[in-house]
Amino acid sequence: MSGWPRDRATSRPSASPAPEASPPIRVVRLAADDAERVREASSLFSAPPDDEAVRAYLASPTDHLFIAYFDGQPAGFARAHDLRRLDGMRPKLLLYEIETAPRFRRRGVGRAMVEAAKEQGRARNASLMFVITSRGNTAAMRLYASTGGRRLAIDDAVLSYDLSGEDDDLP
């Protein structure tokens, strides 16, 4: 028997429990045959997706729809578009829309979608990815800054034109 008292092992500080692993976030760029995934994630969208519009969008090689899954559940989506240019063959990528379901916010879902869009832009040989938001959207401004986004001009403005003939589309 060693010189250690019998209960010595119980008086030692216990090892810290392993931190809980956060559920994996997986972002998928949807392909032409993924319309069912859009239906499964329909609660993420502000209006129900139209089946015909979804099929056309997913069939386009220059329109990109990403769905983020948090622990296997649809948690957010992002849409991006290649913008062709006249001054060269390299497109720019417009990150047009990004939304995370409220219960999945502040868990890395938005960051994962921005990173997936950046990867898609690199794969498409885009020279730049850009996004439009308002300075007052502090959550978006933090997300974009934390993922490497930079404001190139403080006086940028976005103006909208109602082409539908119905003024209710504009605020």
Residue 88 falls inside a structural domain? yes
Q: Residue 133's domain is classified under what CATH number?
A: 3.40.630.30
Map tokens 């392909």 to a residue.
31
- State pLDDT tens for residues 92-140: 999 999 999 999 999 999 999 999 999 999 999 999 999 999 889 999 9
State residue 17's pLDDT score. 52
pLDDT digits (tens, 9 = 90+) for 40-69: 999 999 999 999 999 999 999 999 999 999
Q: Does 64 map to a domain? A: yes
Domain presence at residue 119: yes
Identify the pLDDT of residue 153. Answer: 84
Answer whether residue 170 shows pLDDT above 60. Answer: no
pLDDT of residue 171: 57
- 4 lies in some domain: no
Burial class from Cβ neighbours inside 10 Å (0-12, 13-18, 19+) for residue 65 reads: buried
Q: Is residue 13 part of a domain?
A: no
Quick one: which of 124, 144, 125 has its CA closest to 134?
144
CA 89 → CA 9, 126, 127, 130, distances in Å? 69, 9, 10, 17
* Residue 165 is assigned to a structural domain of this protein: no
What is the total count of domains within the chain?
A: 1
DSSP annotation of 167 reads G
5-47 pLDDT tens trace: 333 333 344 455 555 566 699 999 999 999 999 999 999 999 9
In a domain, 5, yes or no: no
159 part of a folded domain: no
Q: Which domain holds residue 32?
A: 23-151
